[in-house]
Each structure stands twice: as C-alpha cells, then as structure tokens.
Structure 1
Amino acid sequence: MGLLQRLFEGVAPTAAPEASNSLPTVRAESAPAVLFHDLSDPRIVELLRGELETAAGLHISVEQALKNPTVFRCLDLVCSAIAMLPLKLHRETPDGGTEVAADHPVHKLLRRRPNAWQTPFEFKGLMQYRALTHDKGAVAMIVRSRGLPVALLPLNPDRVQIEGEEFKPVYVYYRKSGGRVELRRDEVFHLRGLTFDGVNGISRVKKSAEAIAIALQAERATAALFKNGTFASGALKIPNELSPEAYERLKVSWNERHAGVGNAGSTPLLEGGAEYEAFAQTAKESQTVESRRFQVEEILRTFGVPRPLAMLDDTGWGTGIEQLSIGFVRFGLNPWFTAWQETIGRDLLTDAEDDHDAKFNPGALLNGTMKDQYEAFAKASGAGGHKPWMTANEIRKMLGFSAHPDGNGLMAPGAQPAPPAQDTETDEAADKLLTSRKPVETDDED
C-alpha cells in the first residue's frame, strides 16, 4: 500500500468497525506514562487543552501567547526572515567550486513548489513557526516517486506521536477522520532546533510561559485601569459624614461624570464643602511601565531577538543598529540555517549525494547600502590598487546581471578597465545617413 493511500484511506481496522470513529488512542507500551495525583493536578489541563498553567494565573497556549505583541513580533520576524531567504541545492564541481543543482528534484521542492498548495515562502515560514512553538518541532511527510522526493506535506504536530523502540523512532499521524498512519523514518522531514532527547524539539512558548503570562496579565491590568478611568488620580475629602443614601448618590454621580477614558480630563463640580485632593502618582511611579518593559525583554531573550528589531528602542537607525542586526543574523538565525541545511541533507538526500548541500543565502539580510556594496565590489575587482579576488562576471552574477564577454578574468592591481571598443562600421553608416539628408528649410517669422 502506497504512502498517500495509507494517509488518506487509512488502514483496515483490527477491532470492531464502530471503533474507527472513536478518539485516537496510544498503545500503553509505547506511550510515556503520566501520573496524576488528583483531578486538581494542573498537568491535566495541559494534557486536555494543550495549555500550560502558570503561576501568574493564566493558561498559556500558542494561540494565547500570540495575543502578546512581543511574541507575535518575534515569531513573525524569525519566520519571515527564514522564509524570504533563497534556499538552493548546490553540488560540487570538478574544479572544487559549487554550482546550483537546478535539475535535482530537491532543488525544485526548495525553490519552486514544495507541494500543490504552498509556495516556498509559505512552507518555510510554517515549518519554522512550528519548530519554534511546538515540542515536537516541525514535521512534514515526504512523498516520493521512483525513490525521488516530489512533495513535502506539513503535518500538524498536535496529531503526530513519536513512538517506536529506542534509537528507532516511528512517527504516527492521527487523521482527522480517525485512524492512525505509521510513517517510516525515511518518510518524514523533521525540523527541530535545540533538543533534550535527540528526537523532540523545544517549544519557546512553553519555556517562556511565565514571562508571557505576566506580560498578558500586566496588559490586562493596564486595560482595566484605563477602562475605569486610567489611574487613581485623587480622592474626595468630605467634611461631614455621609448617609448611606448620600454616599451611593455621590458614587454613582462621580462614576457617571468622571470614570472611564471618555471622561478623562473632566472638571469635577463639588458641593457641600467637599474637596478634591490629587495624588502625585504616575504610571511610571507605579512601575507598570517598567514591569511591562522587563517582560518584553524576557520574551526577546527567549527568541534571540535584539531590542531594536522589536521596536523597543526610540533611538535612530545608525551604525549600532546595523551591528545588532548583523549579530541577529549570526547568532539568532545562523543556527536555524544550519538546522534546515542539515535536515535537508539527512532526510531528502542519499548517501550517494554527499557532494550536494542545501545552502541559505543570507545576503539579503546582510547587504549594506548601495554605496557600501559598490565600494566593496570595487575593491574585490582590484580598483584603488587592491589585489583583485573577484572577476567582473562573479560580481555581476551576485547582482543578478548577465555575464559580460570580457568579464571572466581578474584585473591586474591598479589597472584601469579597458575603454569600450568603438564600432567603426556603425559610425560610418551613421555618417552616410546624416550627410545624405537635405537640410530642412524653415521660414523665419518676424
């Protein structure tokens, strides 16, 4: 039975037919045992709802975490950066260089169409998102034809269970319609970053659940303060004791006229000798701003994103920001580049294809200004007395231009480019055309 047939048609049930519509179960001998002390055990909520209970009083799931702007920004930044960069398959050439293996089916998956409904940008972004947010990492099924990979189908990690014996993992996918499909290791593309057991990945959302929960609670508290009239800005001093009826009337009247954001800045009208005493208290003094900023920084640390790239700093975009961006690529994205490249080599290439390697091109993220690029290319080609190490055609290829007939050699240090050859035949034809034409006579008007 083929892989797609197993996936979409399922396997014939071994038990009673009605059991096929029941919830998927995991064999006891393969599933990890979890011992619950009682029904109040917080791990029950995590198991049933896919959420993690935190000390801040919130149950954090991936969807809940995305409500925090910092989490959304970090995921969007990392996933979009990975998704936008070209990912090509290269092979070694006899002269020791490399060339793009454009005719290889893996290259077509990476650069053109990973499956029937996704672009490479969408596929890479989704896989990176799942690798960051799910404990199992990102899993895709490899569809092969005559032994060659022809499609990568992303699987919901919540429906994937990794079973099997030690050192021989078996991937089990539970279909929405019921039933389970076992996938061999060579039928799975499994992307993961840092791992504690060599099989599963690490969810950044779970590891930073407390920081995310505190940030969400602080945001809710701030929203409640604004809803009820921003912060407590003062108090009423009444010289005489109020009756319960007068107290209720004053409270209702005050809330109607001065509570809520819509009444901010309204002038109170006091009677009966009442006085309004303002508090010397601000949001900063109550440490609300500092608390929220600190939680933002905690979340940024989890995802490895610099403060300026999360729009946290008010400083301008100068040399310091540029260096932080370079550091983000080197230390935040490069590990994921390596994870992608080595996963492709392990899951999509054979031992006979050891001379093939998948490579990201981070140039789109590291390129400086046009002025900086042209100065670097000028030095690389030998201008200004520098020893050349790049030909003109190599530079033109990096810029996306076609090759020039005279651009394959290195220019001598300090030499000036040869002037373009004059087309004498064209010049002579142009002279004949101009001399054969009669001058146009015009009438001058006074």
Structure 2
Amino acid sequence: MSFMNFFRRREPEAANLPSVQAMAGEAGMFAGMTDPNLLEFIRGGGSALTEAGLSISPKVAMRNTTVLRCVSLIAFSIGMLPLHLQRKADKGKADDHPLFRVLHRRPNGWQTAFEFRSLMQQRALVDGNAYALIVRSGRRIIQLVPLASKDVKVVQRPDWALEYHLKRNGAETVILPQSEVFHLRYGMSDDGITGLSLVKQAAEAIALAIQTEKAAARLFRNGMIVGGYLKHKERLSKEAYDRLKESMAENEGAENAHRWKILEEGMEAEDPGHSGRDSQAIENRKFQIEDIARPFGVPRPLLGVDDTSWGSGIDVLGQFFVRYALNPWFEAWQQAIERSLLTEAEADLFEAKFNAGALLRGSMKDQAEFFAKGLGSGGHQPWLHPDEPRDWMDLPRRDDLPTAPGQQTQGDGNEPS
C-alpha cells in the first residue's frame, strides 16, 4: 500500500482495516493530508495523539523535568549499586566466574558498569524493553553490547521460542536467537513477551504537563506582568508625568530594588498581588508533577517538591523508594540475568544480587545502635562478626578484633598462660 493510499477515503474493508490499525492505531487514522493531527503524529514518531493535543514519544517525554528526574533517579540508583554474582551455598562472591567481571566492572570495551546499567534501565523505563547482545568466547560471556530498543522487534516462533529481529544500518535485518540477547523488560506486559512503556502509559499526564508548561511560557513571552499600580484622583499634568516616567526609568534594575519612590501630585501606589488564577496555575503544575511520578513510584520529596516529610522522615521515604520503586527492578534484573546469562547448571550454583544496603540504612546513630546490638552490646546474643560491619562501612578488615564481645583477641600462640 502506497503512502498516499493510506489517507485515501474508502469503505472499511475487512481485509484492509486490520493493517491500517496495526500501522497507526485508532488515534492514527486521519481524514487526509490536511488533517491537523497528521503533523503531530509524524512529529511524535508515530505516537498516538493524546487528548491534550500532543504526541508523546520517549524523546518528547524526557524533556519534561519530572519524567527526567524519575527516570534518572531510578536509572542512576540501579547503575550505582554493586551487582555481584555470588554463590548460593555460602553467599560469597563468585569472583572467579567470568560473568562476575562483566556484571560488576566491565560489561564491554567502552562502558563502565554504571553507564551500562543506567542506560539499560533508562530504556526499560522509557521504552518498556532494553536489549543487549551477548558476546561469547567459546562458552564464556565476555561482553554485553547494548542495542537500541527501536531497532529490535521480538517475535515468538511456533515452538514458543523467541527470536530478535535487529535492524542494522536502517535497512539490513539480522535475526538473533534468544540465547544471544539479554532482554530486560518492565514487569507489566500485554503479551508476556515485551514490557509496557511507562512513558506511553502516562502519556496523557505528561502531555498535560507539557501543555501547562507551554501556557506558562507563553504568558511570560506575550503577557503583561505588572509590578504595581499608581493611582491619581484627577488628571496628571504632563510635567509631572514626564518627571515620574524619568524617575521610574532611573530606578529600574536589581541594584535599585526596594528604593522609595517620590509620587507626583497626590498619587497613590498599590500592589496588585497574586490572583486566584495564578495560585490555581501553580497548584495545577504541582499536581502534574505528582501525577507523572505516580507510575514510577518516586515519592514527592525526591522530586524536589516541598513537602512536610523532609527531616527525620526522609530516611523512611528513602526506604519506601527502595522497597516499592527499586525492588521490583532488582528482581527483574536478577531473574533476567539467570534466564539469559547463566546455564541451567550454573543457575543451581550462582545468583546475581544487588547490594541495596547503603540505601536502606538509617542515620549514623541508627546504624551504630544496630551494629552494637548485633555485636552483643547490652546483653544481646551476638549474631554479627566484627568484620561484617566494617565491610558494610567500606573499612578494611583487621586481625586484632574479637569475633564476639568478651572473646579475647587471638594472638600468635606465644602468650604466657
């Protein structure tokens, strides 16, 4: 079907209607070349037009500061936390396994672990899916190469196995088997194969926020912002008007702020203040921030919005963020690694784990009390080794520490009895 035939009026034939909907969806069916929604559809890269009158593509959505903050906060958290391959038997680091280095330190030749995981997490949030090519040397995984989500199409074969159609250089398509692609997807899905894009699901809220932002920008560009009023009971003489205008011009600028002004011929000054409409506009913009952040699970104070939860409650909010916003992604990463990067035999012995302890810890006072009780302070049964808190605090291990309170430091065996 040619490009022009797509816009030509016709009877809805049963054979042609599904192909039209598959290409554009119900919101992408236009009356013709003059349809005003067509330009927005093309600008949005094929994204459906929202009720607010905008097509929200991932690139457009990321220009909104709330979306940018939510995505960067989650992506950077995933990127900065240590990700280790560990043994299931003793929970020790499996640093002798080739995959340990790829996950923890060097995923490929040009990215750090932080950059790789942040990019993959960003794409999983915005597009719903993130892909990486698995590069092997023999059976060893030596690199993970990120692939642009827009260039990958997932297809399920008749035998239920997946294959990934990768478009290279804008034309050539390479079919990759499931064993060669690391696929991280958002947990919610329509088909169980690809994840839902949070940006697309929140498109209406994002579009409304962008339009509200544009309205505020147009007000500053085209509107008249009055600093105050000068009232006169009668008609002001030309001489007084000229003197007053010259006086006001001399007092313009930040360096002349809050200086007193001499009024002419009995004039009165009034401050216009803020109108109810101004307050409502500010309130609407705050509501849009909260409405966009809701699908991402990011609390208001972490978005820089004024909130009474600041102070002692911020530790609890941080824990809330980890438990309800990050924990599902921890599990998505860990299980995707087990599915795509470990063999069945390896999965019985090893597991990937994020160390979120640094984000879940309370204040230094709370940590000190926790460590003291764990080491046996106050008559508690000790259940921590002294080296464990030192590891958590990034301190080196010491050989002169007892293993429990009351236990004497072990010497070299030459002490007098």
For 1:136-184, what per-residue CA distance to the aligned partner results, in whole angstroms no more than 9, with x for missing partners? x101111111122111111111111122435332211111253111000
TM-score (norm 2): 0.77
The one-letter amino acid paired with 2:383 is: W
Matches of 2:275 and 2:376, distance apart in 1: 61
Asked if structure 1 preserves the Cα contact closer than 8 Å seen for 2:48 and 2:55, the reply is: yes
Give the aligned partner of residue 226 of structure 1: 220
Distance 1:286 1:419, change over 3 A: closer
The one-letter amino acid paired with 2:172 is: G
Give the aligned partner of residue 356 of structure 2: 362
Does 198-207 or 367-376 show the bigger shift?
Answer: 367-376
Give the aligned partner of residue 58 of structure 1: 54
Give the aligned partner of residue 241 of structure 2: none
Give the aligned partner of residue 148 of structure 2: 156
Q: CA RMSD in A?
A: 3.8
Distance 1:388 1:341, change over 3 A: same
Distance 1:376 1:329, change over 3 A: same
The one-letter amino acid paired with 1:120 is: A
Does 279-288 or 228-237 show the bigger shift?
Answer: 228-237
Asked if structure 2 preserves the Cα contact closer than 8 Å seen for 1:142 and 1:152, the reply is: yes
Matches of 1:42 and 1:113, distance apart in 2: 46
Matches of 1:147 and 1:46, distance apart in 2: 46
Does 43-52 or 153-162 show the bigger shift?
Answer: 43-52
Asked if structure 1 preserves the Cα contact closer than 8 Å seen for 2:205 and 2:288, the reply is: yes
Shift in Å, 1:403? 3.6
Give the aligned partner of residue 213 of structure 1: 207
Shift in Å, 1:233? 8.0
The one-letter amino acid paired with 1:89 is: L
Asked if structure 1 preserves the Cα contact closer than 8 Å seen for 2:400 and 2:409, the reply is: no
The one-letter amino acid paired with 2:291 is: E
Asked if structure 2 preserves the Cα contact closer than 8 Å seen for 1:52 and 1:206, the reply is: no
Alignment of 1:388 with 2:389, yes or no, is no
Alignment of 1:346 with 2:339, yes or no, is yes
Shift in Å, 1:351? 0.3
Give the aligned partner of residue 129 of structure 1: 122
Asked if structure 2 preserves the Cα contact closer than 8 Å seen for 1:173 and 1:182, the reply is: yes
Matches of 1:61 and 1:142, distance apart in 2: 28
Distance 1:283 1:117, change over 3 A: farther
Matches of 1:316 and 1:185, distance apart in 2: 46
Does 345-354 or 32-41 show the bigger shift?
Answer: 32-41
Matches of 1:115 and 1:225, distance apart in 2: 48
SS in 1 for 2:306: coil
1:192 maps to which of 157, 173, 185: 185
SS in 2 for 1:53: coil
Distance 1:91 1:298, change over 3 A: same
Q: How many residues align?
A: 372
Alignment of 1:406-445 (within 5 A): 407=401, 409=403, 411=404, 415-416=405-406, 418=408
The one-letter amino acid paired with 1:168 is: A
Matches of 2:335 and 2:172, distance apart in 1: 32
Give the aligned partner of residue 113 of structure 1: 106
For 1:341-367, what per-residue CA distance to the aligned partner results, in whole angstroms no more than 9, with x for missing partners? 000000000000122100000012112
For 1:109-146, what per-residue CA distance to the aligned partner results, in whole angstroms no more than 9, with x for missing partners? 111210111000000000000000014x1011111111
Give the aligned partner of residue 82 of structure 2: 86
Structure 1 gaps, min length 5: 1-27, 238-252, 268-274, 426-446
Matches of 1:138 and 1:198, distance apart in 2: 15
Give the aligned partner of residue 7 of structure 1: none
Matches of 1:283 and 1:227, distance apart in 2: 21
Shift in Å, 1:225? 1.6
Give the aligned partner of residue 100 of structure 1: 93
Asked if structure 2 preserves the Cα contact closer than 8 Å seen for 1:393 and 1:408, the reply is: no
Does 300-309 or 218-227 show the bigger shift?
Answer: 218-227
SS in 2 for 1:98: coil
Asked if structure 1 preserves the Cα contact closer than 8 Å seen for 2:124 and 2:197, the reply is: yes
Asked if structure 2 preserves the Cα contact closer than 8 Å seen for 1:233 and 1:281, the reply is: no
Matches of 1:303 and 1:168, distance apart in 2: 31
SS in 1 for 2:92: strand
Structure 2 gaps, min length 5: 1-17, 232-244, 261-267
Shift in Å, 1:62? 1.7
The one-letter amino acid paired with 2:81 is: L
Alignment of 1:306 with 2:312, yes or no, is no
Distance 1:67 1:283, change over 3 A: farther
Give the aligned partner of residue 290 of structure 2: 297
Distance 1:34 1:300, change over 3 A: closer
Shift in Å, 1:276? 11
Percent sequence identity is 44
Matches of 2:140 and 2:215, distance apart in 1: 55
Matches of 1:200 and 1:313, distance apart in 2: 37
Matches of 2:200 and 2:114, distance apart in 1: 26
Matches of 1:398 and 1:235, distance apart in 2: 63
Matches of 1:405 and 1:187, distance apart in 2: 46
Asked if structure 2 preserves the Cα contact closer than 8 Å seen for 1:391 and 1:407, the reply is: no
Distance 1:232 1:104, change over 3 A: same
The one-letter amino acid paired with 1:100 is: K
Distance 1:147 1:46, change over 3 A: farther
User: Over alpha carbons, which structure has the higher Rg?
Assistant: 1
Does 179-188 or 361-370 show the bigger shift?
Answer: 361-370
Distance 1:356 1:82, change over 3 A: same
Alignment of 1:215-364 (within 5 A): 215-229=209-223, 231=225, 281-282=274-275, 285=278, 287-315=280-308, 317-353=310-346, 354-364=348-358
Alignment of 1:378 with 2:344, yes or no, is no
Does 342-351 or 390-399 show the bigger shift?
Answer: 390-399
Distance 1:107 1:283, change over 3 A: farther
TM-score (norm 1): 0.72
Shift in Å, 1:396? 2.7
Distance 1:145 1:318, change over 3 A: same
SS in 2 for 1:60: coil
